[in-house]
Each structure stands twice: as structure tokens, then as C-alpha cells.
Amino acid sequence: MHADNEYSAILTHLYEKSLILHDMSQFHKVLAFYFIDSLAHIDYTTSIYTYNYQSPKNIMGAEYLRWRIDEEKKGNRVKFPEFINWLKKEYPEKFAQLPSLWQLIYDDEDPAGYCSFRIVLDPDSRSEIPSNMLYIMIDEFFNPDFLKSLYTDASLATLFDAYISRNSSA
């Protein structure tokens, strides 16, 4: 475990969140995939900081994340990163409302990315992500307005479908 255990508290913060007031079956399928995927990356990154790399928790997390590599290539999921960059250009106010993790990871101009499934904000740094930033990332994904935007008839889902429609005929 991490020496000062600050990352363990972040995992507790994540696991205490609930979607009980939401019907995930009504979420837009692509947005739901990336929502859960982002939580998995937050979980894995924090778990690496908390537990030994070879702990069963980290091995299980890595197995899910390996599976998702093929899953993100299915259907319109592959267009999600392009959609985020389109939002940044065409709807900057909507882009600014997205969770910061989506802004960082999928913005073509930002160096952040996933490296061996970990969230890496700066590829040239070996520093851990500051704990306060992970708390913020978690809270942004569970923000009620953001969660409402994931439903198939909601703002973000409608914009994603509009983006797909415009770009499938091109």
C-alpha cells in the first residue's frame, strides 16, 4: 500500500459513489461505454498508487482494460475521440463542461493519455497524479448535470448523434 495511504482514500471516495438514481440502460450506448471506461482508468491508476502492481485488484483491472481495447473499436465508439475534438471546436462551452479527464485524454492538442492503462498527464514526468486531481475527476463524472447529459435524449447524447450523422455521410 502507498506509504501515506492518501490514494486509498480516493478509492473509497470512488466506491462510495452511486448511480442508483440513474437508469444506465437509458444512457447513450457510446457515452455509457466511455463513462465506465473512464472510471476504470481512474480506478486502475489509483490502485497502482495504492497497491502492489501484482495485487489481484490490479491484475483484474488490467484484464478489463485489455478487453476494452477491442471494445472501443466497435461501432461508433471509435468516433468518440473525434467527437470530443469536434466539440472543442464547434461547441467550446459544451467541451468546457465535460469532465476534465475527457478533455485531457481525448483532446488532440493535450499530451495526456493512457500509458499501460494508467492516466498520464505528462508523458515526460514520472510523478503521480496529485490526489486532489483524482478527487476532482471522480466528482466530475458523478456531477448530476453531467450524468443527465448521458441519456439518449439529452444534450451530450444528441450532439454525439448529430456528429455521427454529419460525418457518416461524408
pTM: 0.93
Judged by DSSP in three states, 67 sits in helix
For the chain, what is the domain count? 1
Task: Classify residue 16 as exposed, middle or buried by CB count within 10 Å of its CB (0-12, 13-18, 19+).
Answer: exposed
Q: Which domain holds residue 132?
A: 6-168
The answer to the question of residue 1 being in a domain is no
Tens digit of pLDDT per residue, the chain (170 long)?
444 578 999 999 999 999 999 999 999 999 999 999 999 999 999 999 999 889 999 999 999 999 999 999 999 999 999 999 999 999 999 999 999 999 999 999 999 999 989 999 999 998 999 999 999 999 999 999 999 999 999 999 999 999 999 988 55
